[in-house]
Chains A and B, each alone.
Chain A
Amino acid sequence: MERDKNFILGVYEDEDVLLDAISKVRGNGVKIHEVYSPFPVHGIDDVLGYKRSKLPIAAFLFGLLGTILALTMQFYMMKIDWPMIIGGKDHAAVPDFVPVTFELTVLLAAFGMVGVFMIASNLKPWGQPRIFDIRITDDKHVMAIDLAVNSSMAESQLTDVLKNSGASEVNFKSFE
């Protein structure tokens, strides 16, 4: 069976049941593909065993890029390309550069962070995000389990694990 195509979905009504279920399901040796939720559930990263996000590193690097870009740009414009005397100061009056540098640092850090996040979570403008169950935008939590990854277990076995963990329904979903 191919990976990332066929999923078994456990649907949960309540986030406390969900948190409990994640531990139970993982305790049974099942590898969870992803959990979808209409709102942020506190502590879900811990029970899912997620490592800390690397997003801050991306933010820092994009911020650093913004700083370098802003300083280079201003030095080039003000000192090399078109030197002007403003207020009797040196062409490269560094304190004057600080606000622009600050703004570009913040701008690039913010844009970079949003961009990286969108790409990493498959929310980029091109391509279609996969909807496992339309109700995750409303009132249901959905736990997706990749059948290929858990091929050591039978589908009926996985269904039992999900049911026992408190899922209100168990569905199958395949993507082309």
Chain B
Amino acid sequence: MGHSTTNYNLDQKFDFTAGLKKSIFAVLIIGAVILTAGILMAALGGGHDEAHAEGGHAFHWYQRLYANLWINNVYFTGIAVIGVFFFAIQYAAQAGWSAPLLRIFLSFGYWLPFAGIIMIVSYFIVGHDVFHWTHKTLFDLNSPDYDKIIDGKGAFFFWPLEKGTFPAFFIIRMVVFFGAWVLFFNKLKNLSYQEDLNPGNQTWYKIRKWSALFLVFFAVSSSVSAWDWVLSIDTHWFSTMFGWYVFASWFVAGLSAMTLVTLFLKERGYLEMVNENHIHDLGKFVFAFSIFWTYIWFSQFLLIYYANIPEESVYFIERMESDVYSPFIFVNLALNFFLPFLVLMTRDSKRHGIFLKLICSLIIIGHWFDFFLMVQPGTLGHNGGFGLMEVGMFLVFGSLVAYVVLNNLSKRNLIAKNHPMLEESYHHHI
């Protein structure tokens, strides 16, 4: 109370130092080395599995690489788009407390163009190995592989072309979603930077309008992208909660990433107007949405468990009765529910960086496991697992995202200095 508000440095810029770049590159190189080691081990030792392969589908080592590529693609796309989503939420809700943090949220969107290019390009490389529905014979009435159920769903991927050919509708959706997300991100970003030059409320109203439009679009596109990129891996199976499930996973991972960047900047002496009250609010978001994710995860599980209809429960049988995946279900629940729930329950742990940093880091790892459990059982079956390739690919993607986000964050003002609610956020007190 009663702080003087004039002595905050609103023109501060994040200095992306050479030392920091070096550390990120070090992680990238370590990740690449681990990934290469994993690939070599799989490629050299991978021949054994082909003998056990059933149903005419031999397993190749590169399928695991592809599945990993896809896991990280989807996961980090989510974290990036959640940055823009959370930024838009602040405007739609007319939130004042977060005004000095807005640029941090927004900067995650810089990964989106990269994510889009990687995903679209990698679909053409990995698609056939990740998505069962890409197999032509499934739609051929004369083939022994003909699958009536997948044939019934075929139009969702292949419309307006013939089923089993080029998945036009699927690709169109991918391009449209990424295109629109990037466009919205660019619009919001440009408006936010414009605001630095034009004091007054006009830009704020414009950003709010574009935020609202983005939120409407994201509400639909986040669900559909979850069906496309994750749910369709298990082509026979479906869950009406899946869109929310993936969104919840993305959201809490994104919130954790944003909290970590905020704490990191704060530690380095930036954002002096951000105090423990703002940190507390971020902590509350992480806490609340960890529970939200658990709620969604459990709701999906319980209905299927209770009804016990074979075509539904197969999804969980595949995971829970598998030697490869069953331990990770508990890792998933421990990292994403029990730890955040118990540790972040008290007020103090949300206000002091150390607990929050620990839990946010664990949540980012934990939700990677969540996507691991969504993707690998359907693509690799018993040939999957958590090993060097998984660790390496995660580190490679993670360091690239960190580099892109921090590098772009350092190019402009760290704080939206003409945001009309900055003053309110200085006095944020809970």
The interface of chain A, by Cβ under 8 A from chain B, is 42-43, 46, 52, 56, 60, 87-89, 95-96, 98-99
Contacts and interface: CB of A to CB of B under 8 A. Distances in A.
Interface string B280-291: 000000000000
A122 B147 CA distance: 70
B411 interface: no
Nearest to B346: A56
Contact of A43 (B308, B347, B429): B429
B414 to A, nearest CB: 28
A43 B1 contact: yes
21 contacts: A42-B429, A43-B1, A43-B429, A46-B1, A56-B346, A60-B345, A87-B306, A87-B307, A87-B308, A88-B308, A89-B308, A95-B298, A95-B301, A95-B302, A95-B305, A96-B302, A96-B305, A96-B306, A98-B298, A98-B302, A99-B302
Interface string B336-360: 0000000001110000000000000
Contacts of B345: 60
Contacts of B298: 95, 98
Interface of B: 1, 298, 301-302, 305-308, 345-347, 429
A99 B301 CA distance: 12
Contacts of B1: 43, 46
B305 A56 contact: no
Nearest to A43: B1
Contacts of A87: 306-308
Contacts of A60: 345
Nearest to B301: A95
B403 to A, nearest CB: 41
A56 B429 contact: no
Contacts of A42: 429
A91 to B, nearest CB: 15
Given A89-B308, A95-B298, A95-B301, 10 more contacts: A43-B429, A46-B1, A56-B346, A60-B345, A87-B308, A88-B308, A95-B302, A95-B305, A95-B306, A96-B306
Nearest to B308: A87
A118 B348 CA distance: 25
Contacts of B347: 52, 56
A95 B301 CA distance: 9
Contacts of A99: 302
B338 to A, nearest CB: 13
A7 B305 CA distance: 64
A88 B308 CA distance: 9
A96 B305 CA distance: 9
A60 B347 CA distance: 13
Contacts of A98: 298, 302
A121 to B, nearest CB: 20
The 9 closest A-B pairs by CB, nearest first: A95-B305, A87-B308, A95-B302, A43-B1, A87-B306, A98-B298, A96-B306, A98-B302, A43-B429
Contacts of B429: 42-43
Nearest to B307: A87
B347 to A, nearest CB: 7
A98 B306 CA distance: 12
Contacts of A96: 302, 305-306
Contacts of A52: 347
A88 B301 CA distance: 17
B335 to A, nearest CB: 19
Contacts of B301: 95
Contacts of A43: 1, 429
Contacts of B308: 87-89
A118 B408 CA distance: 53
A126 to B, nearest CB: 32
A16 B362 CA distance: 44
A15 to B, nearest CB: 13
Of the listed residues B301, B306, B347, the one surrounded by the most CB atoms of chain A closer than 10 A to its CB is B306
Contacts of A95: 298, 301-302, 305-306
A9 to B, nearest CB: 26
Nearest to A19: B1
A12 to B, nearest CB: 18
Nearest to B302: A95
A84 to B, nearest CB: 14
A95 B297 CA distance: 12
Contacts of B305: 95-96
A56 B301 CA distance: 31
A56 to B, nearest CB: 7
B1 to A, nearest CB: 6
A45 to B, nearest CB: 11
B254 to A, nearest CB: 26
A32 B73 CA distance: 61
A88 B307 CA distance: 10
A20 to B, nearest CB: 11
Nearest to A47: B1
A99 B1 CA distance: 43
A122 B347 CA distance: 26
A56 B346 CA distance: 8
A99 B298 CA distance: 10
Contacts of B307: 87
B428 to A, nearest CB: 11
Contacts of B302: 95-96, 98-99
B330 to A, nearest CB: 14
A9 B429 CA distance: 29
A87 B310 CA distance: 13
